[in-house]
Amino acid sequence: MRGIALFGKIRFLDTTLRDGEQTPGVSLGMDEKLAIAQGLDALGVDVIEAGSAMTSEGERLSIKAVADFGLEAEICSYVRALATDIDVALGCDVDSVHLVVPVSDLHIQCKLKSDRKSVINKAVEVTEYAKDHGLIVELSGEDASRADQDYLVSLYKAGIEAGADRLAFCDTVGVLVPEVTADIFSRLSQLGAPISVHCHNDFGMATANTVAALRAGAAQAHVTVNGIGERAGNASLEEVVMALESIYKINTGIKCQDIYQLSRLVSRMTGLPMAPNKAIVGENAFTHEAGIHVHGLLADTKTYEPMHPETVGRKRRIVLGKHAGRASVELALREFGILASEQQLAQIVVRVKELGDKGKRVSDADLQTIADIVLSIQM
Ligand code: KIV
Ligand code: ZN
């Protein structure tokens, strides 16, 4: 195991196998969970939330298989504040539980039909029960971003008293903004236990909020590969890690060069394709067509790439279409070993653009045909 929370080092709890699997239509079997868990472990995440032990017998077998595989990461199950949930998690041999209680009045009253005091009592009782049975406990507030923050603090304090090792704050419906996130985590990081940030992407701010929380003192980020998860998904592992590494120059300890391979594996196993413009792992994230950009890239890749594609296990791709220019066409021709004169190159560019104007991406075969035609004309 990579050990329990350490102040100072940013930790990652990956919930691809729990919150990610809650994506509508996704169901992962044991072999798939094991393969993804191995990939996550090799990548270097600290905690793998392998599922929710109370969900089904199949889920329990999968969690147990992950827990018994001997990975370095801490293996965790999601549980509610019920002793019976702790019992089934124990049966799966997990190291820890992500013990979740609703904390907003909306959730406490509408969903749980309970009251604030009873929620604290239950959280304390089940935290003590889990600790008595040797589990690491991460006590988590669901819908924390819409909760009364003073109530939330009293719940967290009661949880720490009861033995909780870590706390978690869930922006369940993705309504945080970075400046509010920073204020919240500046306060919560003073409570005496490491706190995790768990963000959803309903307004496209999960990554920004997660990074803001970490910069304000959060010790651990909850993330999923490819940002998969309920509705618009969770904070994406690859985005949070690369923002920290590339923009803030923080060494996360994650093996970034393996990110793309794991992204492909998760996409295949969940059946969830990536949008072409998805940051870091989308098909177009390191693909260039525009002539001006390719011209710049040939001089220095930093002109139009904020990071080297190889950093995340990818390659740069130059494609041809109506935005192509001399530089990109010449580069593509060179890759086929075709040398064209200035005049021929100009002709090829014109024909590439003509094809592009018809709404086509110009394939390798198209380019070769164009080049054959132009080069066979005497100039
Ligand atoms: O987003 C959320 O609130 C959650 C909790 C149930 C942990 O995923
Ligand atoms: Zn969630």
Give per-residue pLDDT as tens, 54-75.
Answer: 999 999 999 999 999 999 999 9
Calculate how far, in angstroms, residue 19's C-alpha sits from the geometric centre of ligand 1.
Answer: 7
pLDDT of residue 6: 38
CA pair distance 143, 131, nearest whole angstrom:
24
Centre of ligand 1 to C-alpha 367, Å, is 50
Amino acid 169 reads F
In single-letter form, the type of residue at position 251 comes to: N
Residue 292: its pLDDT value, please?
A: 80
Return the minimum-mean-pLDDT range out of 104-108, 123-127, 265-269, 332-336.
Answer: 332-336
Q: What residue spans of 162-205 are helical by DSSP H?
A: 178-188
Least confident of 1-10, 110-119, 131-140, 221-230: 1-10
Ligand 1 atom closest to residue 144's alpha carbon, by position in its atom list: 3
Q: Is the per-residue pLDDT at 138 higher than 90?
A: yes
Going from the Cα of 172 to the center of ligand 1, the distance in angstroms, rounded, reads 6
CA-closest residue to ligand 1 atom 1: 172
Give the percent of the chain with pLDDT over 90. 86
Q: Provide the token pair at 158.
A: 């009661």
Model confidence at 105: pLDDT above 90? yes
pLDDT at 132: 98
pLDDT per residue as tens digits for the range 180-219: 999 999 999 999 999 999 999 999 999 999 999 999 999 9
Rounded Cα–Cα distance for residues 324 and 350 (Å): 10
How confident is the prediction for the chain on average, in pLDDT?
Answer: 94
* Cβ–Cβ < 8 Å for 280, 239: yes
- Which protein residue has the closest C-alpha to ligand 1 atom 6? 142
Q: Examine the pLDDT at 136 and tell me if it is beyond 90.
A: yes
pLDDT exceeding 70 applies to what percent of the chain? 97
Mean per-residue pLDDT, 145-168: 98
| Nearest CA-CA partner of 129 in 174, 185, 188, 80 | 80
Count of residues in the chain: 379
Q: Cα–Cα distance between 11 and 218 in angstroms, integer?
A: 9
CA of 142 to the centre of ligand 1 (A): 5
The pick from 100, 101, 111, 201 for probing ligand 1's pocket by mutation, whose C-beta has the most ligand atoms within 8 angstroms, reads 100
Mutate to test the pocket of ligand 1, among 142, 195, 202, 234 (most ligand atoms within 8 A of CB): 142
| Band of pLDDT at residue 2, cut at 50, 70 and 90 | very low
Identify the residue whose C-alpha is closest to ligand 1 atom 2: 172
What is the band of 369 on the pLDDT scale with cuts at 50, 70, 90?
very high
Mean pLDDT of 208-236: 98
pLDDT at 144: 98
Q: How confident is the model at residue 374 (pLDDT cuts 50, 70, 90)?
A: very high
Matching residue, tokens 């988590």: 140
The sign of the dihedral angle between the CA atoms of 65, 66, 70, 76 is negative
Distance 140 CA to ligand 1 centre (A): 8
Average pLDDT over residues 245-260: 97
What pLDDT score was predicted for residue 5?
Answer: 37
Confidence grade of residue 379 (pLDDT, cut at 50, 70, 90): low
Closest residue by Cα to atom 5, ligand 1, is 142
| The residue to which tokens 């086929």 are assigned | 336
Strand partners, 77: 51, 97
* Beta carbons of 195 and 218 less than 8 angstroms apart: yes
- Give the distance (Å) from ligand 2 centre to CA of residue 247: 26
Q: What confidence score (pLDDT) does residue 295 get? A: 82
| CA 200 to ligand 1: nearest atom | 1
Nearest CA owner, ligand 1 atom 8: 19
CB under 6 Å to ligand 1: residues? 19, 100, 140, 142, 170, 172, 198, 200
Type of residue found at 326: R
| 122 Cα: distance to centroid of ligand 1 (angstroms) | 18
- According to DSSP, the β-strands at 287-288 and 47-52 are unpaired
- pLDDT at site 169: 99
Least confident of 21-30, 127-136, 326-335: 326-335
Residues whose CB falls within 8 Å of the CB of residue 6, separated by 6 or more in sequence, listed in order: 194, 219
Q: How confident is the model at residue 4 (pLDDT cuts 50, 70, 90)?
A: very low
Helix, strand, coil proportions of the chain in percent (round to 5)? 50, 15, 35
Q: How far apart are CA 106 and CA 144, in angstroms?
A: 11
